[in-house]
Amino acid sequence: MTAPRYYLWNIGCQMNQADAERLAEALEARGYAATREPSEAALLLLNTCVVRQSAEDKVLGRLASLRPLACDDGSRQLLVMGCFVDQAGDLEIRYPYVDRFFAPSDIQGVLEHVDAWAGRNGDAVPATARPARVNEMVPISYGCDHRCTYCIVTERRGPQRSRPIAEIVAEAEDLVARGAREITLLGQNVDAYGTDWDQGADPAGRPDLADLLDAVHAVPDLWRIRFLTSHPREMTPRIIEAVARLPKVCPSWELPVQSGDDAVLRRMGRGYTVEHFRELAERIRAATPESGLNTDVIVGFCGETDAEFQSTLDLVRELRFDMVHIAAYSVREGTPAAGWPDDVPPDEKERRRALLEETQTEIATEINAALLGETVTILVEGRQRGRWRGRTRTNRLVFFESDDNWRGKLARVRITWTGPWSMIGDVVTEGEPAGEATPEG
Ligand code: SAM
Ligand code: F3S
């Protein structure tokens, strides 16, 4: 008998990516096999994102295309998880052909539903654990306690819930035992890790991200640790010190600034000033000189003037980020900003987005060009279009050609070509794990 099939469609942030991987693994452990062809599948699963209208449109398109496959008789299940699922809404009425909706990251809920549907009542078919990827993601907290005025995530994902350190470490150990060498610790706001515990207790005695990094650092045979996303308001000197001190922790920072203008930051409800962000960037670069600093920016937020946009452009030029994720502001119903005029016209948003993109491309080109002829150490994740692909500790993407099997190894690569988003090189030798004595670019 052939295995029943599942079709899993995923869109959105790394948290969704991590959830989708977990779900796929759990389904495969129950005897389901993946398919890319929805009509072959007994289980149709959508893991959704609505952070911007463009993502929501893709979800709506996918729902519409799967609708003809929905079965009234329960022989096939169409299940929807993720930020599209508005618990207070009327989704069941609007999409009666969807069998069940699940909150973001409610993998347990999906699995219980699938088990009940399959009549197994939770008795999973024993299966051997799959080998892990070289780089795996582990959620450390769910939800977010911030109320950025443009953001729907906080409403859809609920308040922050941090996972216990022991649970995260156990998961990291299991992944490493299955071959992982790099773990990325994930949360909407990882710098606030632990702040949801014992609200009344002495904050000094409460574990924070620095303690978690220390604990994960102790996992044997783990070579690299990353963490994202940070928040400028909650990044502490203790966290910066831990990253600088712990050799396995990659000095690769994802610190969204969102705007380079104080008035816009106030309207966004971000809770910091440009000067605070600037000082933080300086402190980070002083503590971890060989680091990568990435950020997020929203252009065209409500009321953003030319001068306010110019401040963002100036800050991007001044701080020379390694990467800037740029988004045009998209109104999200249910957020505070949805009640304000969305008064930057679409063409103007696009002009600002393209100008910022062009500026950042020039900067990234220059930063990477400085590495031409240098030798960097990368952790090789796998193959892509006939080449081996890996990343430096600072999260720069490097490709090289070799007939040997480099998967899961550290490679010392001499850079022969650089572009804004990636580099190419020739492999020199194998690298040294953790601590990685040799400097990396
Ligand atoms: N926790 C992070 C932070 O401190 O900013 C970001 C999490 S947010 C879900 C991911 C990114 O989506 C944000 O950095 C922002 O740039 C973008 N984003 C969120 N809401 C948006 C909106 N309404 N329009 C455009 N971009 C948006
Ligand atoms: Fe959204 Fe702001 Fe939290 S961007 S996820 S409310 S930090």
pLDDT, tens digit (0-9, with 9 covering 90-100), for 28-78: 999 999 999 999 999 999 999 999 999 999 999 999 999 999 998 889 999
Q: Return the higher-pLDDT residue of 409 and 200.
A: 409
Residue 297 · residue 115 · CB < 8 Å: no
pTM of this structure = 0.94
| Mean pLDDT of the residues in the chain | 94
Question: CB of 145 closer than 6 A to ligand 1?
Answer: no
For the chain, give every residue range classified as CATH 3.80.30.20.
135-369
Question: CB of 231 closer than 6 A to ligand 1?
Answer: yes
Confidence grade of residue 3 (pLDDT, cut at 50, 70, 90): confident
State the alpha helices, DSSP H only, in 90-145. 91-94, 107-117
Q: What are phi and psi of 333, to 5 degrees?
A: -55, 140
Q: Return the higher-pLDDT residue of 402 and 88.
A: 402
Structure tokens at 197: 């515990």
CATH of domain 375-430: 2.40.50.140
| Tens-place pLDDT, residues 378-394 | 999 999 999 999 999 99
DSSP 8-state assignment for residue 258: B
For the chain, give every residue range classified as CATH 3.40.50.12160.
5-117
Residue 8 · residue 34 · CB < 8 Å: yes
Confidence grade of residue 428 (pLDDT, cut at 50, 70, 90): very high
Name the residue among 175, 219, 213, 224 with its Cα closest to residue 390: 224
Residue of 264, 298, 323, 333 to mutate, ligand 1, most atoms within 8 A of C-beta = 298
Instruction: Using the mean position of ligand 2's atoms as its centre, give its distance from the Cα of residue 153 in Å.
Output: 7
Any residues with Cβ below 6 Å from ligand 2, and which? 144, 146, 148, 151, 153-154, 188-189, 231
Structure tokens at 357: 């993109």
Q: What are phi and psi of 365, to 5 degrees?
A: -60, -45
Between 32-36, 175-179, 429-433, the lowest mean confidence (pLDDT) is in 429-433
Instruction: Using the mean position of ligand 2's atoms as its centre, give its distance from the Cα of residue 187 in Å.
Output: 10
Distance CA 377, CA 393 (A): 8
User: Domain 5-117 maps to which CATH number in 3.40.50.12160, 3.30.1490.120, 3.30.390.10, 3.30.750.210?
Assistant: 3.40.50.12160
**AA letter at 223:** W
CATH 3.80.30.20 given to domain 135-369? yes
Instruction: Using the mean position of ligand 2's atoms as its centre, give its distance from the Cα of residue 146 in Å.
Output: 6
Distance CA 229, CA 186 (A): 7
For the chain, give every residue range classified as CATH 2.40.50.140.
375-430
**Residue with the nearest Cα to atom 4 of ligand 1?**
231
